[in-house]
């Protein structure tokens, strides 16, 4: 950067600050006090939005608050609107294949609730009067297949399973065949939990998807990453790495019935533009709700102090 | 593990190291960066604030500003504070007495069942007779999971299918243990939210029946700000005695670990570092702090090596290296030893600055390269391994064809081996020189 440019950039900053200040005086807006700012910052960071995202939102809120006039909404209302706006461009419904069975692959790290989410999704489809098939592709963790099978029995949904330590891609392949022959509209593939840092396991996941794509062009139509609401900033790494490996189409945030706010999805949305499709709010089959940006933002700032 | 935090802090330190003297504003700047790094690492914001305040109070004092190497001093301060935050020393389990019970509690999916299995394996290795008790009556197939783990470990598992009363399970498990001479009972309880009062009360009732010596909170290393709430609530209801930190083999920044001890005041006792049952280690705050600061976990690495490497053999190799008599045969032995220590990514992560390296290097590729090297050396005759200089074009062609690679690759290996030998000779001389000067090795940061 040359000296002139530097000077210009510096002046630009002063200029916009000046304009902002004049606007503030003209509109008679209150100035944001240090304590309110600190409170807002604490609320955002406490909700796991992360430092970078928090700084951005605080700056935007500050700007909006100080130029809105004396009778405008309070700081937290602006912040809420800001968060809701950044999450708004969403399409919560599940995509559908043009014809035949729609394959939904459910992926994520260990213990986020993939199996439960699969079961809940199947329940949701059944409630709509359509039929679903579950595929137990977690052939690694002890009793993972039994867990899905028990869900299948409970819900009356057929479960396609292989043996433990079988190739998950083979199970997925068979599941597509089974879903076809049953004339099911949806197939939910429950994959094994894997840390996004294990390259061999990520490759295994890619293989599962590749095999499904060969068996049924276009499959999987949806790839949903399941995120635990209690996860902090690592969720961004998880989303980034899974997206790199298998191209995600959406997120499911689970365990939102606790006190955690899952603010990290704001940063994920910002970086990767992945829509949040569903949220899990309990252990019962119907505790899966479509995502609502407004509600989410409200919850983010509730009971915080 | 803790890679991101390490690299962030390393940046801060790089700046500090470059400074001859530290002014108040310098310290403040760096400490703001430290606070940011901690927040990004999911350290609870109150904990991070206190941490930074403490360091600041110590840093802006006479001792730092007047010392010769202020940068080093600050690093030491931050390190000491981190160690304090993580708990001063490793705390084992309290297992005194004829028969004791342990309770595993935590949120859903934090790894209670897997950790129960891992803990049982560890206790069995220590000569105890553990009994796994399936006390998760909610999650489908949770009992099957524990039973499978028990089978893998060849350990008894107390399972009562269809029973929904946890207290009754507790009572019967105690009787079963007495009848079958099991002296450590590990209760694998169901995952629950800390605010789910009825379920938490169920744990309180179970505690009253089994009178556990230890109640361990199983905590996912990737937990965010919520870690503090989880820990405080469980502690208030149950008086937990410690924690197990799980999934540390990922790249979670580990703020949960930093927050836990300072908020609850109980030690972190173990850590889970993989999906296999043997991937379970005692938690060492000192090492963890060094690791966070990018100083590398040298102690763990040495211990790991000691487990797998024959000490005599290592000594012989070292001697050879110093004298520059290191042959391809020794190289092969070393390659194999390294591989028996586990995947490369785990090892490199333990080295100073390794976290940084790991980010840029595709280790699966180097792992493959190691295998190729091994193949190449295996295709050589013992004579060739000892005297690489006799490998003429014909011999080289034979070796390359025998191991299925191009001759250029073999040439490459030999060239690199030559360079390595040169370096080792130099290092040997350097060490001798240091010895003559009577100085210990340079004061490494990794040994406090």
- Mind listing the pLDDT tens digit for each residue in A96-118? 887 889 999 999 999 999 999 99
Which domains does chain B possess? 3-86 (1.20.120.140), 100-291 (3.40.50.300), 294-436 (1.10.260.30)
Regions of chain A where pLDDT drops below 50: 304-305
| Alpha carbons B94 and B104: distance in angstroms, whole number | 15
Contact check, Cβ <8 Å, B250/A196: yes
pTM of the predicted model over 0.80: no
Touching A: B residues 5-44, CB under 8 Å = 36, 39-42
Q: C-alpha distances in angstroms, A110 versus A42, A141, B98, B103?
A: 29, 10, 36, 22
Peptide bond into B148 cis (omega under 30): no
| CATH label, A3-86, candidates 1.10.150, 1.20.120, 1.10.3470, 1.10.287 | 1.20.120
Residue among A47, A111, A283 whose CB faces B110 most closely: A111
Name the DSSP letter for residue B266: -
The residue behind tokens 């010895």 is B435
Are B368 and B343 spatial neighbours (Cβ–Cβ below 8 Å)? Answer: no
| Alpha carbons B353 and B172: distance in angstroms, whole number | 52
| Alpha carbons B342 and B264: distance in angstroms, whole number | 34
- Residue A267 contacts B where some CB pair is shorter than 8 Å: no
Q: Rounded to a whole number, what is the distance in Å from the CA of A198 to chain B's nearest CA?
A: 8
Torsion angle defined by CA atoms of residues B184, B188, B194 and B195, in that order, rounded to the nearest 10 degrees: -120
Contact check, Cβ <8 Å, B247/A111: yes
- Mind listing the pLDDT tens digit for each residue in A62-92? 888 887 776 677 888 888 888 888 887 666 6
- Looking at chain A, the whole-number percentage of residues with pLDDT higher than 90 is 45
- Mind listing the pLDDT tens digit for each residue in B317-341? 667 766 767 788 877 877 777 666 6
- Residue B141 contacts A where some CB pair is shorter than 8 Å: yes
Name the DSSP letter for residue B191: P
- Mind listing the pLDDT tens digit for each residue in A19-50? 776 776 677 677 777 788 888 888 888 888 88
CB pairs under 8 A between A and B: 146
**Domain A3-86 identical in fold to domain A102-292:** no
Are A261 and A47 spatial neighbours (Cβ–Cβ below 8 Å)? Answer: yes
User: Which residues of chain A are within 8 Å of residue B144 when distances are taken between CB atoms?
Assistant: 142-143, 146-147
Which of B246, B193, B236 shows the shortest CA–CA distance to B215?
B236
User: Which residues of chain B are within 8 Å of residue A196 when distances are taken between CB atoms?
Assistant: 250-251
ipTM of the complex as predicted: 0.81
Are B24 and B60 spatial neighbours (Cβ–Cβ below 8 Å)? Answer: yes
User: Which residues of chain A are within 8 Å of residue B249 when distances are taken between CB atoms?
Assistant: 195, 197-198
Name the DSSP letter for residue B190: P
Q: Which residues pair with B186 in a beta bridge?
A: B102, B132
Angle at B102 between CA B101 and CA B108, to 5 degrees: 145
Higher pLDDT, B19 or A156: A156
| Alpha carbons A248 and A56: distance in angstroms, whole number | 26
Touching B: A residues 193-232, CB under 8 Å = 195-200, 228-232
Q: What are phi and psi of A67, to 5 degrees?
A: -125, 15
Q: Is the pLDDT of residue B294 over 50?
A: no
| Alpha carbons B192 and A139: distance in angstroms, whole number | 25
Are B108 and B219 spatial neighbours (Cβ–Cβ below 8 Å)? Answer: no
Which of B184, B205, B185, B202 shows the shortest CA–CA distance to B137?
B202
Q: Rounded to a whole number, what is the distance in Å from the CA of A43 to chain B's nearest CA?
A: 10
Nearest C-alpha in A relative to B362: A199
Q: Where are the domains of chain A?
A: 3-86, 102-292
Contact check, Cβ <8 Å, B251/A197: yes
Contact check, Cβ <8 Å, A47/B225: yes
Q: Which of the residues A142, A197, A204 would you substitute to probe the B interface, choosing the one with the greatest number of B C-beta atoms within 10 Å? A: A142
Own/partner long-range contacts of B399-402 (Cβ < 8 Å, ≥24 apart): B400/B376
User: How many angstroms separate the most distant Cα atoms in chain A?
Assistant: 73
Q: b/e for B226-247, b at 16 or more Cβ within 10 A?
A: bbbbbbebbbebbebbbbbbbb
pLDDT at position A121: 95
Angle at B27 between CA B23 and CA B28, to 5 degrees: 115
Contact check, Cβ <8 Å, A147/B107: no
Tell me the CA end-to-end span of chain B in Å, nearest whole number. Answer: 20
Q: Is the pLDDT of residue B305 over 60?
A: no
Give the count of alpha carbons within 13 A of B9, CB side only.
Answer: 28
Class of domain A102-292: alpha beta
Residue among B36, B223, B230 whose CB faces A232 most closely: B223
Neighbours of B436 (CB within 10 A): 8
């Amino acid at each position: 950067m040359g000296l002139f440019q530097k000077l210009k950039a510096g002046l630009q900053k002063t200029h916009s600050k000046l304009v902002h200040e004049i606007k503030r005086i003209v509109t008679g807006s209150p100035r944001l006090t240090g304590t309110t700012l600190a409170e807002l910052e604490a609320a955002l960071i406490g909700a796991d939005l992360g430092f970078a995202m928090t700084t951005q939102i605080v700056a935007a809120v500050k700007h909006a608050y100080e130029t809105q006039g004396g009778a405008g909404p309070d700081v937290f209302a602006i912040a809420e609107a800001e968060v809701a706006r950044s999450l708004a461009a969403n399409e919560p419904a599940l995509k559908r294949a043009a014809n035949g069975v729609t394959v939904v692959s459910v992926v994520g790290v260990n213990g986020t609730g993939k199996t439960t989410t699969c079961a809940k999704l199947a329940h949701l489809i059944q409630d709509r009067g359509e039929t679903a098939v579950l595929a137990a592709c977690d052939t690694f963790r002890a009793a993972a297949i039994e867990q899905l099978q028990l869900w299948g029995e409970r819900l009356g949904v057929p479960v396609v399973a292989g043996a433990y330590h079988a190739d998950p891609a083979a199970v997925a392949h068979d599941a597509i065949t089974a879903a076809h022959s049953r004339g099911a509209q949806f197939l939910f593939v429950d994959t094994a939990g894997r840390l996004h840092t294990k390259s061999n396991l990520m490759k295994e996941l890619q293989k599962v998807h590749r095999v499904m794509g060969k068996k049924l062009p276009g499959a999987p139509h949806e790839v949903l990453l399941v995120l635990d609401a209690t996860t902090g900033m690592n969720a961004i790494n998880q989303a980034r790495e899974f997206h790199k490996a298998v191209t995600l189409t959406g997120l499911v945030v689970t365990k939102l019935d606790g006190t955690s706010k899952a603010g990290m999805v704001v940063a994920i949305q910002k970086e990767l533009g992945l829509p949040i499709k569903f949220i899990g709010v309990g252990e019962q089959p119907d505790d899966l709700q479509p995502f609502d940006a407004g509600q989410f933002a409200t919850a983010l700032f509730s009971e915080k102090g | 593990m803790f890679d991101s935090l390490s690299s962030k802090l390393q940046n801060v330190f790089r700046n500090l190291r470059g400074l001859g003297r530290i002014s108040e504003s310098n310290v403040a700047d760096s400490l703001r960066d430290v606070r940011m790094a901690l927040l990004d690492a999911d350290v609870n914001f109150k904990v991070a604030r206190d941490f930074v305040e403490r360091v600041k109070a110590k840093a802006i004092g006479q001792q730092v500003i007047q010392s010769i190497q202020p940068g080093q001093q600050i690093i030491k301060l931050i390190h000491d504070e981190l160690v304090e935050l993580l708990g001063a020393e490793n705390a084992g389990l309290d297992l005194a007495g004829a028969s004791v019970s342990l309770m595993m509690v935590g949120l859903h999916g934090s790894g209670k069942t897997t950790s129960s299995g891992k803990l049982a394996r560890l206790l069995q290795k220590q000569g105890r007779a553990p009994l796994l008790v399936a006390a998760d009556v909610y999650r489908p197939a949770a009992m099957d999971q524990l039973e499978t783990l028990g089978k893998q470990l060849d350990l008894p598992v107390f399972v009562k299918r269809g029973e929904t009363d946890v207290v009754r399970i507790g009572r019967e498990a105690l009787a079963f243990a007495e009848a079958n001479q099991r002296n450590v009972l590990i209760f694998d309880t169901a995952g629950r939210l800390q605010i789910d009062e009825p379920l938490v009360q169920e744990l309180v009732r179970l505690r009253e029946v089994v009178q556990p010596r230890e109640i361990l909170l199983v905590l996912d290393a990737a937990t965010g700000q919520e870690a503090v709430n989880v820990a405080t609530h469980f502690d208030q209801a149950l008086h937990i005695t410690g924690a197990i930190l799980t999934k540390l083999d990922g790249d979670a920044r580990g703020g949960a670990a930093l927050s836990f001890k300072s908020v609850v005041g109980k030690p972190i006792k173990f850590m889970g570092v993989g999906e296999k049952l043997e991937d379970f280690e005692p938690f060492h705050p000192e090492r963890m702090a060094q690791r966070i600061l990018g100083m590398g976990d040298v102690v763990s690495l040495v211990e790991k090596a000691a487990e797998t490497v024959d000490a005599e053999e290592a000594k012989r190799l070292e001697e050879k290296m110093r004298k520059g008599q290191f042959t391809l045969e020794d190289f092969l032995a070393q390659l194999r030893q390294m591989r028996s220590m586990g995947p490369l990514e785990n090892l490199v992560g333990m080295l100073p600055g390794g976290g940084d390296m790991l980010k840029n290097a595709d280790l699966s590729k180097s792992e493959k390269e190691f295998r190729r090297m091994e193949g190449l050396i295996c295709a050589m005759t013992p004579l060739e391994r000892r005297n690489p200089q006799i490998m003429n074009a014909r011999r080289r062609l034979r070796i390359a064809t025998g191991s299925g690679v191009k001759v250029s690759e073999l040439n490459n290996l030999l060239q690199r081996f030559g360079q390595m030998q040169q370096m080792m000779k130099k290092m040997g001389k350097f060490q001798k020189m240091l010895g003559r000067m009577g100085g210990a090795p340079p004061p490494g940061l990794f040994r406090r």
